[in-house]
Amino acid sequence: MKFPGLTSLYGRIFAIFWFTLFVVVVTIVLLFQLDPRTGQAIPEPHLKRLEYTAENINQKLNTPRNETVKKLQLEQKLKRLTKRKNNHDIQIYFTTLNGDIISPQKHTKALRNFITIADNPSAPKQRLYGRWMMAGPFMINTPNGHIYMYSGQVWRGPSPFIIQILDKPFKLLLVTMLVSTPFLLWLAWAVTRPARRLQQAAERVAQGEFTADPNLETGPREFKQAGASFNQMVGALNTMISGQQRLLSDISHELRSPLTRLRMATALAQRKQGESLELTRVDTEAERLENMIGELLELSRMQVNSHQQNERLDSQTLWYEMLEDARFEAEQCHKTLRYNTLQDWPINGNPNLLISALENVIRNAIKYGNDIIEIQFTVQQHLLTITIDDNGDGVPEAELDDIFRPFYRVSTARDRDSGGTGLGLAITESAIRQHRGTIQANNSSLGGLNVTITLPLAR
């Protein structure tokens, strides 16, 4: 079986997992090393006191009258000394150099354990047993040879934090989790970072931004391959969309030539044969077809590579000039157009498409409204909402959803006789959808049509 390399995702997860486990184990081992219950050097003040006690005992045992003390007499003498020195908080112990306890013989469990790790009087130690602190050994000279002195005293201080951890499995587990959490968070961040890049790139494509991201081809090998494939897909989409839009533009452009020849032939026939209902109908239909092709050409010009021309815009710069032109046009038609103050709301998108989308709705309102057109801009929860109301004849309730279909015209004042091609609102709906927005038609409180557009603001 081949060992996973660090360039692969599962190799990195494997390495980081074992590194985290190693750090946790080392931390726990160090905690045990810092346990005050292990043998440690005696603090200087306490060491001085114990050395003074040992020296005092030495003097008492080595007075001239004690030079020929027998072994039994020595044990009795030591018992008297320990009784004199001992109290509820401090106790003095004596042992032979071999570790045999001389005095006292009771309550020496901690002493017996301590003797096994502390038997060098040149380097005395101390160790905590519960609340009992043992210290020693200290050399005592007696007429019969050398013995060791040990000290035991009650630990009055608070229980050390390390002991609290080591004595309670739950706290030890908690410390282990706290130590490992930063490494595991780093592991989660390192593993999910390429995935987040891929997610953000997919969201940009969903918003109409068909741009390749070189950062997708970095990181673990699996994400490099996925990022390269994603960038290839984006490139293929760019080519396909651009080709489709150019095809539409070319077809519309090519249709104009025979259409122009048809209108010239109709004009020659009218001049030669005079006016007739048939020739007039042919010329009217040709004119409508020419207008329709003109709108298709305009749409294709706006959409060619429009997905690659997105910019960060502000609402005032984007629509102010168009709104002022629309107000002037409404005044020429003896109508009133009102809109509230625009602010610098940020929007990501294609400026030509966004201007054309709103302009189509406003010019429809000017054309079909009686004398009042109201436009309202509001922002709520990172959404820009635009409502356009007029007081015209409106649209039948059953046809409100159909007016955004290409070439659809309603059977009222907004019909074939008005000269429309049915593409204006379809262009608007397409442009709004490309910018992740929505458009909806309703009956207006003014009596005409209400069109509501929502667009997401740039973050």
334 is catalytic: no
- Of 107, 146, 253, 382, the active-site residue reads 253
Could you give the CA distance from residue 174 to residue 169 in angstroms, rounded to a whole number? Answer: 9
Report yes or no: 201 and 237 within 8 Å, Cβ to Cβ. Answer: no
27: its two tokens = 């931390």
Which residues make Cβ contacts (< 8 Å) with residue 451, sequence separation at least 6? 361, 365, 387, 388, 439, 440, 441
Closest CA to 24 of 205, 155, 176: 176
pLDDT tens figures, 319-342: 999 999 999 999 998 999 999 988
Do residues 406 and 423 make contact, with C-beta atoms less than 8 angstroms apart?
Answer: yes
Sign of CA dihedral 15, 21, 23, 25: negative
pTM to 2 decimal places = 0.47
Q: CB of 39 within 8 A of CB of 116?
A: no
Kindly list the distances between the CA atom of residue 168 and the CA atoms of 32, 173, 175, 178, 296, in Å, as whole numbers in the listed order: 13, 9, 11, 16, 78
Low-confidence ranges of the chain (pLDDT < 50): 1, 3, 68-69, 413-417
pLDDT of residue 378: 92
What's the angle, vertex CA 384, arms to CA 201 and CA 302, rounded to 5? 65
DSSP for 299-359, written as a single string: HHHHHTTGGG--EEEEHHHHHHHHHHHHHHHHHHTT-EEEEPPP---EEEE-HHHHHHHHH
Residue 428: how many other CB atoms lie within 10 Å: 22
Instruction: Tell me how far apart the alpha carbons of residues 54 and 81 are, in angstroms, rounded to a whole number.
Output: 11
Tokens 């002195």 belong to 149
Query: Which of 392, 389, 393 is CA-nearest to residue 373?
Result: 389
- The pLDDT, as a whole number, for residue 450 is 92
Structure tokens at 404: 């955004």
Which tokens is 291 given? 């207008």
Two structure tokens written together for 119? 């038997």
| Radius of gyration of the chain from its Cα atoms, rounded to whole angstroms | 47
Peptide bond into 182 cis (omega under 30): no
pLDDT of res. 1: 47
Q: What is the pLDDT of residue 198?
A: 84
Least Cα distance to 115 among 124, 76, 130, 83 occurs for 124
